Structure 1
Amino acid sequence: MNDNHPAGQELTRPLTVADVLALPVLSAGQPQVVTGAPHLDRPVEWVHVTELTDPASFLKGGELVLTTGMPLPEDAAGVRRYVDELADVGAAALVIELVRRYHRPPDALVEACRLRGLPLVTLAKDVNFLEVTQVVHALLLGNQTDALRRAQRIHEAFTALTLRGAGPEDVVRAAAEISGRTVVLENLVHQALICEPSGRTVEEALTDWEQRSRATGPGAHTAACGPEGWLTTPVEYQGERWGRAVMLPARADEGPAFGPEDITVLERTAMALTVARLIHPTRWERTAHRNVLRELVEQRHLSPQDAGARCAALGLPTHRSRYVAVLVDLGPQDTESDPESRIFRELRTAGAVSLVGELAPGRLGILLALRPAEPWRPIVERLSGIALGMAPKAVVSVGSEVTDLRDTARSFREAARVAEATPPGQPLAPDRSFHELSDIGLRRLLYALREDPRIQAYTERQLGRLVEYDTRHGTDLLTTLRHYLDAAGNKTVAARRGGLARETLYQRLRTIERLLVRDLESGDQRTELHAALTALDVLRAR
């Protein structure tokens, strides 16, 4: 039987008219397609050999009809009726042997088949019709068995996902892998929350997603619909709809339309997504925001275009917009408070467009999208007020404004540096409630670098001998050095701050110079010591 398979045919899809014509048992008859060439992708459900004048009464649809032409009516009207009946019942094609009665197809037959779009195929040589039926029926039955096995594997795969508590991303990814097609989960406002591309880029799949999705229609049941022929099915539970799963068709040159297995995959996807929604408390929108923000921060997207398409599909403007990255460190929080949703709702109420997601435990990332002339500081002030209302010790850090979505990773890195350079309880500027890059002076820079062994080694090298001397002798030369450096080398001011006589101050400074092998009259050396003393304060404050 394997010898009769069409070239490359692995029966992972329905057997078509073109497939049957390519079988050796039929190709030996030198088949020629006279009409209906665009319809050779019609599936063949059975082969029917007939010499009756009314074969349609014995058909159910999808049959490849084989005839010698002997029963064809003589008159054109009878031929048209014969063809109309075949077309009305849904026959896949009509194959006529040009050996006995005809040596060329009758014009009336050709015209009737052309008008009804029924493929008409002629055979120039004698073909054993019985052998054709045996070969094709064996293939069809084998196809059905294979289809049952594949359906069983599909059910087993999704059952395994459900039993291990897979999240929505795992479910959609599995659907794309099994079907070999792009699969998308969208919410009720037509935002694409999860997209697993297959055979196309994210940009191709998601560009203008909302408009394309709305044009597809609501879709109450699993069906291929809309101008692009999307296969969709609702995701719902007990009458409450949460969104829908969408399978995108392959490009015209990449494969056939959707088949029964695709429908099975998508419906099982919807069922698994329903279970995932019930057992995972995090809302899909929050998960989607988290994933997109992490891709932006870590630059894990395949291309800037893909990143833009993902953001746009979640409702973030990507044209003529400016962006500001904000980090909110909340510290220990009540896990039931859902700070992500609250911040997102408050920002949306204020008219601010944003993505909000948890980047790490206790740390939220917010990407604000601003209109061309919209100032960002009032929005961040409002955001800070929300965060401080939830956690009075929250720290809000802001990166610089950028005009390209590709640069948002830099803005997030800057916000992270600000957060790293902000000690607990760090006072804010009197006119704002957030921290930004311009706040990072020497002390906060050294605080951010406090874990660096090079900073620790530098501090010890500069001041270690003085600290050890104070420890052994019970002196406080370190404080004297601090007063002197804070006074920018003014000995009179330093003596007054330390409550010392000038001569006592001079003596202590000479001791410091001897211990540290330093010239305190040198501006460069005073600067080095001042940096080391600031670092020591930061290290001791840990």
Structure 2
Amino acid sequence: MTTASEPALSVRQILALERVLAGEPEVVAGAGQLDRPVRWVHVAEAADVGVMLSGGEMVLTTGVLLAGDREAQAEYIRSLHRAEASAVVLGLGRAFPAPPEVMRRAAERCGLPMVVLHRPFPFAELTEEVQSRLVRRKFAAVSLSEAVRTALTGLITAGAPLQRLLDEIAGHSACPVVVTNLAHRVLATAGERSAVDDVLRDWERIARQAGGREGDGWVRAELGGRGERWGRIVLCGYRGDTATGRLLADRAAEALVLHRMLGGSAHSWEEQSAQSLLTDLVSGAVPARHLLPRARAAGLPVNRRTFVPLAVRGVGAAQLARVLRLLGLPGLVAELADGVTAVLLSLARDQDAEALAAHFATRLRAEPGGGAPREQESAVVVAAADARTGWDDVPAGLREARHVADSVAESPADLDLPVVVRLRDVHLRGLVRLLRDDPHVQSFAERELDGLLCGADAEAELLPVLRTYLATGRNKSRTAQLHHVSRPALYRRLESIEARLGVDLDDFEQAASIHIALLAHDAQQR
């Protein structure tokens, strides 16, 4: 019997060969089955030919031993059907000058393609043509299979990430490649971006179809091991023959299973998928509307939703994802750079976004192992942007939440902050941080602080004192306490600072100017 991994030609493809067309072929039965694969071509005149077949053969005959015996003709067709032959080709001539009606009716009942040749045709030429093509296709398929296996194994050995493997698979298959979990949620994709977006745009419907059957170039292979399935890989719209696509999908599945077993990444594929999506949203390199199909295919509800962008410090992505699951809040979690983890909540329009964000932050701090110890709870920062009702506004919201989290990180450790920090809570420090790269702000900071920045000793000893003094609202007792010095020693240092900068720190406007310059300097340094 023909297997899915054996390269084959279809009955339709063989009938389109130039040599076959010279015989003026006519399909007289089973016209709806012409896409059956043909594994081999077999010339046979014996009435009991079925016992000699193993499935997938196109049988060529003149019917010389069947002429005049209607029962033998019908049984001949039935035996081919039982043997799972692909088709029967009858050469018209002395035995049958016209298509035999008994054979035609039997073939139609069995769904077996029956073709008659109206002109004399040397069967040897057809067998030679088809067999050579089948051998070449099989050799090409085996070569491709080994080339793919070698390339993927090399990438795995080199420690390549999942995306690099998928890019290699997409290069060989020349079509979009999608990896999903068992719930059809997209974990990773590869291929030409516009083609991938077309697939993801209607992924829910496509996934249902691809999950149940293959056809029209949709080839899938299961991912799993030790008797457990955990995902699948789908070649979407593969334009080659199904057998070769099957080989490609199988080689790809083997590689992905091996990659996962060897721990190709510290993060799960689900985490990598969320990280890629949220990183693209934050960076703004890809327009948000182009990322919407990816978000929907990843399982994030996006229709008529309220999106709450969060940026968290002090807690890892795995712990955040666990809290989301416990609270039943749909969302994506991904670790970004510099110790920040982005969270994008997707809420129903009638839900209270601020209350749920606060509840999430409170539960996060209360989770065993999910937050810092009680004496270090201030190290856990949950920053939020205002809720967004439009998907196009999400990237700006994520950047705002991250900006707030970074501003808090640059704030004094004893700063009293709400459980969810927003832009309005970081005040001047947040504004200065937004403007830190402006050349005018940089020049201002250097000019105002020049007297302290020109000497390494002054910068090391006096700058920290100035920073604490201004951050505490010019509280000398608190500054002396925090720096473990006496009040007279602090006064001497403040006098030195004023002399170097040429300012009077008791003057509100001059102190404010120095404070802004110091905030800008610190933001630039970080």
Q: Same fold (TM over 0.5)?
A: yes
Query: For the residues of structure 2 that align with 1:352 and 1:86, how far apart are their CA atoms?
Result: 59
Alignment correspondent of 1:28: 22
Secondary structure of 1:455's counterpart equals helix
- The answer on 1:446 being equivalent to 2:432 is yes
Q: Which moved more, 1:145-154 or 1:197-206?
A: 197-206
Does structure 2 retain, via aligned residues, the 8 Å contact 1:191–1:210?
no
Is 1:231 aligned to residue 213 of structure 2?
no
Residue 173 in 1 paired to residue 167 in 2? yes
Confirm whether residue 246 of structure 1 aligns to residue 241 of structure 2: no
Contact 2:361/2:382 (8 A) holds in 1: yes
Tell me the equivalent position of 1:288.
273
The match for 1:377 is: 354
The answer to whether the aligner puts 1:354 opposite 2:331 as a matched pair is yes
Answer yes or no: is the 8 Å Cα contact 2:189–2:196 preserved in 1.
no
1:91 counterpart (72, 85, 93): 85
Among 111, 130, 137, the alignment partner of 2:131 is 137
- Asked if the contact 2:87/2:114 (under 8 Å) is kept, the reply is yes
| 1:441-491 Cα deviation digits (max 9, x unpaired) | 4454224434533113346678989x99xx9xxxxxxx9xxxxxx9xxxxx
Q: Which has the larger radius of gyration?
A: 1
Which SS does the other structure have where 2:379 is aligned?
coil
The more displaced of 256-265 and 45-54 is 256-265
Q: Would the aligned equivalents of 2:210 and 2:220 in 1 still touch at CA under 8 Å? A: no
In the alignment, is residue 403 of structure 1 matched against residue 408 of structure 2?
Answer: no
* Counterpart amino acid of residue 232 in structure 1: A
Hey, what's the Cα distance between the residues in 1 that align with 2:436 and 2:198? 43
One-letter code aligned to 1:322 = T
- Cα distance, 1:225 vs structure 2: 6.7
**For residues 147 and 216 of structure 2, what CA distance do their matches in structure 1 show?**
32
Q: Deviations over 1:121-162 (max 9, x none)?
A: 222221111222222222222223222222221221221122
Shift of 1:20: 2.2
Q: Is the 8 A contact 2:444 2:517 kept in 1?
A: no
Secondary structure at the counterpart of residue 101 of structure 1 = coil
Say which of 8, 22, 41 aligns to 1:47. Answer: 41
Residue type of the alignment partner of 1:400: D
Q: Which residue of 1 aligns with 2:308?
A: 324
CA contact (8 A) 1:151 1:264 kept: no
Are the aligned partners of 1:158 and 1:272 in contact in 2 as well (CA < 8 Å)? no
Task: Calculate the aligned-residue CA RMSD, in Å.
Answer: 3.9
- Over residues 308-362 of structure 1, what are the superposed CA-to-partner deviations in whole Å (9 max), with x where a residue is unaligned? 33323333211221011111233xxxxxxx7111111113212322211111131
Supply the distance in 1 between the matched residues of 2:140 and 2:122 (Cα, whole angstroms).
Answer: 27
Distance 1:119 1:54 in 2: 19
Normalising by the residue count of structure 1, what TM-score does the alignment of the two structures yield?
0.73
> Secondary structure of the equivalent of 2:232?
strand
Aligned to 1:141, the other structure's residue is in SS state: helix
Match of 2:108 in 1: 114
- The answer to whether structure 1 residue 261 and structure 2 residue 251 are counterparts is no
Match of 1:389 among 348, 371, 374: 371
CA change 1:89–1:444 in 2 (3 A) is closer
Cα deviation 1:156-209 (Å, max 9, x = unaligned): 122112211222233333333323344333335543222335694345347464
TM-fit CA distance, 1:54: 2.5
Residues 540 and 37 of structure 1: CA distance in aligned 2, closer, same or farther (over 3 Å):
closer
Q: Give distance in 2, aligned partners of 1:210 and 1:283.
A: 26
Matched residue SS, 2:38: coil
Taking a change above 3 Å as real, the CA distance of residues 58 and 211 of structure 1, as seen in their structure-2 partners, is closer
CA distance in 1, matches of 2:17, 2:287: 43
Q: 1:83 to 1:540 in 2, by over 3 A?
A: closer
What is the rounded CA distance, in whole Å, between the counterparts of 1:372 and 1:227 in structure 2? 39
| 1:32/1:300 CA distance change after superposition, 3 Å | farther
Instruction: Return the match for 1:297 from 282, 298, 314.
Output: 282
Q: Which residue of 2 aligns with 1:15?
A: 9
Secondary structure of 1:326's aligned partner? strand
Name the aligned partner's letter for residue 246 of structure 1: I
Give the CA deviation at 1:248. 4.4
- Judged with a 3 Å threshold, the aligned counterparts in structure 2 of structure 1 residues 301 and 39 are, in CA distance, closer, same or farther, namely farther
Give the equivalent residue in structure 2 for 1:538. 519
Aligned residue pairs total 461
Tell me which residue corresponds to 1:341. 318
Residue 254 of structure 2 is aligned to residue 272 of structure 1: no
> Contact 1:51–1:69 (CA<8 Å) still a contact in 2?
yes
Residue 364 of structure 1 aligns with which residue?
341
SS of corresponding position for 2:46: coil
Q: How many Å separate the matches in 2 of 1:102 and 1:267? A: 51
In the alignment, the residues of structure 1 paired with residue 317 and residue 450 of structure 2 have an alpha-carbon distance, to the nearest angstrom, of 47
Residues 257-312 of structure 1: CA deviation (Å, up to 9, x unaligned): 45442353244234333334x343322222222112112223455772x6333323
Tell me what 1:508 maps to: none
Matching residue of 1:492: none
How far apart are the structure 2 equivalents of 1:225 and 1:421? 52
Alignment partners' CA distance in 2, 1:230 and 1:427: 58
Q: Secondary structure at the match of 1:369?
A: strand
1:92: Cα distance to partner? 1.8
Q: Give the counterpart letter for 1:286 in structure 2.
A: E
Query: Relative contact order (C-alpha < 8 Å, sep 6+): which is higher?
Result: 2
- Indicate conservation of the 8 Å contact 1:354/1:369, yes or no: yes
Q: State the SS of the aligned residue for 2:37.
A: coil
Q: Could you list the per-position Cα deviations for residues 30-65 of structure 1 after superposition, in whole angstroms to 9, with x for gaps in the alignment?
A: 222222233222222222222222222222222222
3-state DSSP of counterpart to 2:371: helix
Q: Is the contact between residue 234 and residue 249 of structure 2 (CA under 8 Å) also seen in structure 1? A: no
Aligned to 1:101: 95
